Amino acid sequence: MWRLWKCRNNMVFNRKADTPVDTINRAMEDTKEWLDSREENGKFPSQRDIGGPRQNLTWQKPRSGWVKCNFDASHHEGNRSSGLGWIIRNSDGTFLFCDMETFQGRHRVEEAENNTLIWALQAAWRLGYRRVEFEGDNSNLINAVNTNSNNLRLIFEKYVSGDIILIQSRDCNACADHLARKCLWVLYNLCPSFLTSLVNRDNVFAN
């Protein structure tokens, strides 16, 4: 998000427009620099597993001792603001944290989803979570992350103990989707009232 803000200021004050590719590459560099600084302090594990597509049509709890971070973007092109949202829950399905942000509209939905995943990764680690399943519903992004040549996959393999999972139904991602559509800038450590029914619904059907 800091990189997006800097690009916006560069356009407003310097009349210089960065290309979407340059913006994503610089965001990747910022993320790697941030993660490297944490690794130097011994705060990161070194291995991870990458999860494949999950067939369940309802939200599933993470394994015992882990947390799950669902993430999603509400994509709009051009000058209209896009939104992102993520929610972290534990292996009992209990709400831990959620966040929603606004940012400048992207040219492609994959760019918006990519920014959302990076933001969710940074947020989870700032909050102290080390064993995390990240779950999203954009097949192009998930497939790209699971490709050996993808920079974001390399970041995950080096720093993250967890999975990046493609879910087959948007119903599994209803909480993150709802947050992204709210397009506000708020971090919650108590479940907000507008999200309670969706969190409770997920818990009813989760294994």
Residue 31: the pLDDT is 58
Neighbours of 180 (CB within 10 A): 25
Higher pLDDT, 122 or 107: 122
Q: Is the pLDDT of residue 45 over 60?
A: no
Give ∠ CA 32-34-38 in degrees, rounded to 5. Answer: 110
User: Residue 41 — very low, low, confident or very high, per pLDDT cuts 50/70/90?
Assistant: very low
Q: Please list, in sequence order, all residues whose beta carbon lies within 8 angstroms of the beta carbon of residue 204, skipping any fewer than 6 positions away.
A: none
Asked: is 2-205 a CATH 3.30.420.10 domain? The reply is yes
Summarised one tens digit per residue, pLDDT across range 167-179 is 656 678 889 888 8
Specify the pTM. Answer: 0.64
Residue 86: the pLDDT is 93
* Contact between 88 and 67 (Cβ < 8 Å): yes
Residue (of 77, 85, 83) closest to 106 by Cα position: 77
Strand 131-136 with 161-166, pairing:
parallel
Would you kindly state where each structural domain of the chain is located, as residue ranges? 2-205
Percent of the chain clearing pLDDT 90 (strictly above):
13
**Helix (H, G, I), strand (E, B), or coil: what is residue 82?**
strand
Q: Is the pLDDT of residue 70 over 50?
A: yes
Higher pLDDT, 141 or 32: 141
Give the residue-averaged pLDDT of 10-38: 55
